Amino acid sequence: MATDTLNPTPSSSRTWLYPTPRGLYCAPGDFYIDPAVAVPRAVITHGHGDHARPGHRSALATPETLAIMRARFQDMPDTRQQALKYGETVRIGDVDVSLVPAGHILGSAQAVLEHRGRRIVVSGDFKRRPDPTCPAFEPVPCDVFITEATFALPVFHHPSDAGEIGKLLRSLHTFPERTHLVGVYALGKCQRVIKLLRAAGYDKRIWLHGGLASLCTLYQKHGIDLGDIALVSDAVLETFKGAIVLCPPSAIADRWSRRFFEPIPAMASGWMSVRARARQRGAELPLIISDHADWSELTQTLRDVGAPRVWVTHGREEALVHYARSMGIEAEALHLAGREEEDES
């Protein structure tokens, strides 16, 4: 059993699931969920770097998340990989573990833990709106719900995805000679923006920075059709005038971007609703497209799962804890180490 645990709160679910310096630890199963460092046994909710880290002796996740980890980490062959599909259950020690969709990115899951008649759901990161790149979030009734709080302030109400993509296409129509350079995170946001463009009727070639290629290929191998995409580096006699080019956010201000004709810098992120963040990113065209739940979706989720206890992780923890308590829910912040407030960080 692990030896680095803190003193759990007696007479509660925290007697068997609680935070430690390594991460959230499940004592009767002797495993960690999304640990911050390499551990003997880990359950991974999804492939973003603040949740999935290399070096574990054993890792359990959805097949898609394991594929993402193999694509990103060189030492994954040294990890015993256990794939668990949505809806399947496996016994680890004295705990039944299953994974249900979180609606965040490809392969993202909520970890459902059942032990001695009690159920805890660790949501990882999630969103509630439709996303053709992954199954929709499924609320699971439980005794304890562990939720993220990335956008847990009442000021955060994300607009419609279609409306934000419409802004990009209107700008393209208004400035047909200029290249639209859109900053996107390589895992999840890139592929989602492509699918949103396709849903809006944009069927032209979408150009990609080389740093986005491998994960787009992985998505395609898992049945996500991205249409006509190509690498900027493979272009021959291409001016990129009137083109949409996707790239990592850091590439917008890099020498790489100088090849494009009067580029219009855009950025797709839930944080683009904050003007200071948009200016910091140099986004002339901010696109508020988030892979996290906004305030209304977070609060709706608390009602949907009906948990009498809520534990809040990274983000605006205090606001969501206060709201949950106003609903008569026992709520507290976990302050887990190693969590980023945004996937684009």
Chain centroid to CA 308: 26
Distance CA 143, CA 121 (A): 8
Q: What is the pLDDT of residues 97-135, one digit of tens each?
A: 999 999 999 999 999 999 999 999 999 999 999 999 999
Q: For residue 321, what pLDDT is reported?
A: 97
Instruction: Enumerate residues 6+ apart whose C-beta is below 8 A from 61.
Output: 43, 44, 45, 46, 52, 69, 81, 82, 83, 84, 99, 107, 109
Query: pTM of this prediction?
Result: 0.92
Using CB atoms within 10 A of its CB, is residue 91 exposed (0-12), middle (13-18) or buried (19+)? Answer: exposed
Compute the distance between CA of residue 198 and CA of residue 332 in angstroms, rounded to an integer. 41
**pLDDT tens, position by position, 281-316:** 888 999 999 999 999 999 999 999 999 999 999 888
Beta-carbon contacts of 58 under 8 Å, excluding residues fewer than 6 positions away, are: 40, 41, 42, 79, 80, 81, 82
126 with 305: CB under 8 angstroms?
no
At residue 337, the pLDDT reads: 63
Report the C-alpha gap between 274 and 286 in whole angstroms. 9
- 72: which DSSP letter? H
C-alpha span between 41 and 22 (Å, rounded):
12
Cα–Cα distance for residue pair 270/176, rounded to 1 Å: 26
Q: What are phi and psi of 170, to 5 degrees?
A: -65, -40
The mean pLDDT of 149-172, rounded to a whole number, is: 97
Average pLDDT of the chain to the nearest whole number:
92
Report residue 325 as tokens: 């308590």
Q: For 17-28, how does the pLDDT look when each residue is reduced to its tens digit (9 = 90+)?
A: 999 999 999 999
Q: Which SS3 state, helix, strand or coil, does residue 339 take? A: coil
pLDDT at 153 over 80: yes
- Tell me whether residue 211 is exposed, middle or buried, using C-beta atoms within 10 angstroms of its C-beta: 0 to 12, 13 to 18, 19 or more: middle
Residues pairing with 111 in the sheet: 99, 122
Choose the weakest-confidence range: 1-10, 45-54, 101-110, 151-160. 1-10
**How many Å separate Cα 149 from the centre of its chain?**
12
Amino acid found at 146: I
